[in-house]
Amino acid sequence: MSMAEGFKCPACAFRMDVIDSRSATVNEKPTVRRRRKCKNCNTRITTYEMAAEHDVEDLRFALGSVMASARAAQSALAILLDQYEPLLTRKDK
C-alpha cells in the first residue's frame, strides 16, 4: 500500500481519515499517534508511527538473500526426493 492510497479500514477496507494526530512516546522512542475513522463504517482505530531503525534497502537485500537460500534448499530437496522416491516406494520381495 502506498502512502497515496491512505490507510484502509480493517473492518471494511474503505479509506480511513485521520481525525487527530499528536506526538507520543512508545518504548522511549518518539512516535506519532493518529486516531483514524473510516468514512464508510465509522470504525475508529489508533495507529502509532515511528521511524524505521533499519534502511529499507538493507532489509530488502537481507530478505532477498534468505529467499535465494530457501529456493536453493527447496530445489535440492526436490532433487533428493526424486532420487530416493523409488527406494521409498519399493516393495521388498
Number of residues that this document lists for the chain: 93
- Residues 37, 7 within the same domain: yes
What's the pLDDT at 93?
55
pLDDT digits (tens, 9 = 90+) for 2-56: 444 678 999 999 999 999 999 988 888 899 999 999 999 999 999 998 877 767 7
3-state secondary structure of 67: helix
Whole-number Å distance between alpha carbons of 35 and 45: 6
3-state secondary structure of 33: strand
- Residues 5, 32 within the same domain: yes
What's the pLDDT at 27?
83
Q: Residue 22: name the closest of 39, 12, 34 by CA.
A: 34
- Residues 36, 59 within the same domain: no
- Residues 40, 72 within the same domain: no
Tell me if 36 sits within 8 A of 18, measured CB to CB: yes
pLDDT digits (tens, 9 = 90+) for 52-84: 776 777 777 888 888 888 988 998 888 888 888
- Residues 47, 29 within the same domain: yes
pTM: 0.50
What's the pLDDT at 11?
92
- Residues 2, 28 within the same domain: yes
List the CATH number of the domain containing 4.
2.20.25
Q: In which domain, by residue range, is 69 found?
A: 54-93
What's the pLDDT at 19?
95
